[in-house]
A and B are shown apart, each in its own frame.
Chain A
Amino acid sequence: MAVTTAQALDDGAALTGLLTAVAAQDRKALARLYETTAPQLLGVIHRLVRRRDVAEEILHDVFLRVWERAASFAPERGSAMAWLVSVARHAALDTLRRRQREVALDEVPSYGDAEDPDPDPYQRMIRTAEGRALAECLDQLETEQRYCIVLAYHEGLTHEELAARLARPLGTVKSWVRRGLQRLRRCLE
């Protein structure tokens, strides 16, 4: 359980091998994959939905989905960890969006259950080559652009929610996000 995602990303071939075995319905491989990646995925999901019980429920769904859909992972398109993270984030975002539609505003999840803010998240991020590249490119963005992108990624905020959080007009926030993404794309080429 001590394997961090950073090491796992460095060891992408091992994760790809596990996912391939999972696609062939190897239960032991799923158990190893879970051991290796579940803590990081739960961290990402929890940061998005802010509730431990909901996050663990989503993690459960994510691994069932991985069990059924591992065959759709295409190694040439990205790393195994990127694929797992995307399955986890979309599951969490689906839950968030559904809740937004179904739950009155005053019932929107409290933030009291959130973990303490992290002193330096970038230290963890820059342990891989991809992480260092992204961190360097994020550094080149304007502060607002960087803030919007990181906040949206981690907290699952829509354009409207970003605008409310930052007390800026919707159009301004949208253009920060888009310009930020454009510059990131160019920088990472």
Chain B
Amino acid sequence: MAIDAPTRPRSDPPASLRPAPLPRGLGTVLVTGACGRLGKRVVRLLHRERPVVGVDRRPFPDKPKDVRHEQVDIRRKKLKDIFRSEPIEAVIHLGVMHDPRASQAEHHSWNVAGFQKLLEYVAKFDVPKLVVLSSSNVYGPQPDNAQFLNEDAPLLGGARFGEIRDLIEVDMLAQGFFWKHPGTETVILRPVHILGRVHNAASNFLRLPTIPTLLGFDPMIQVINEADVVRAMRCALAPGKRGIYNVAGPDPLPLSHAIRILRRPSLPVPYTLGKAVLKRLWSFRLTTFPAPELDHIRYVCMVDDRRAREELGYKPEVAIDDTVKSVDDA
């Protein structure tokens, strides 16, 4: 569904308070979560083209020289000073915490309260562009999923797996913001499983020396290289783009083919046994995979990325073999 919000003439901020803004498409980009593996890639790609401000509560020791890094927690007031200090043309929000071991309260406060603060400033300072990195996991793997879910599909990812509810809430908040603030071009990207040097569940899973699978299940999966995700974000920064976009990598493939590309042994386990063992391992803190995530290697959760290709002009460039193999990149 193409969401076309009415455009409203933007009220320019008083010129005396702010330096003259750079032409549209070349202004400063603020990146939250800049010190994550994905954040660093985004910063490195963008700083060659336009000014970049990184925001993260972690330090950024090997940052490019021309990048300004602010070590702040996005829940703190200090974030406002960054918006005040220079005109920000775009905000890329990557700072979503997805640490399965952190407490629910900490997750919620960081992901939801932090994002609300960020939205508040985006509205207050009339930032023309907001790009939010959500995930295709918000749809959730279900036995009755359509093979290719489009952007209108309900976000059922939290039905079995509570830890993803934050991510769904962030996605919903961004959607609400999209409608309430037509002056800001909001883009929500929902990429499929991101592979590469990132430490997310999908990459960690494929990095296991022996990859467990579920006996009698071999769902089709979609994966995308981190470089392609970054490319999609750059497409989303182009003036005039707004809306929700599923972002997929090269052609889908069965899970078993991905394991074959990696030349790793796999171990098929019956579902009930796998679930019981994983629960036990989880309670002893021996694994980073919570048991409900098993549904990802049981049912299909694939997306239709036609809109991103047609409207954003995005196209994956990393071939499927290289995308899968990229989990082993040092």
Q: State yes or no: do A and B come from one complex.
A: no
- B interface residue numbers (CB < 8 A to A): none
- A interface residue numbers (CB < 8 A to B): none
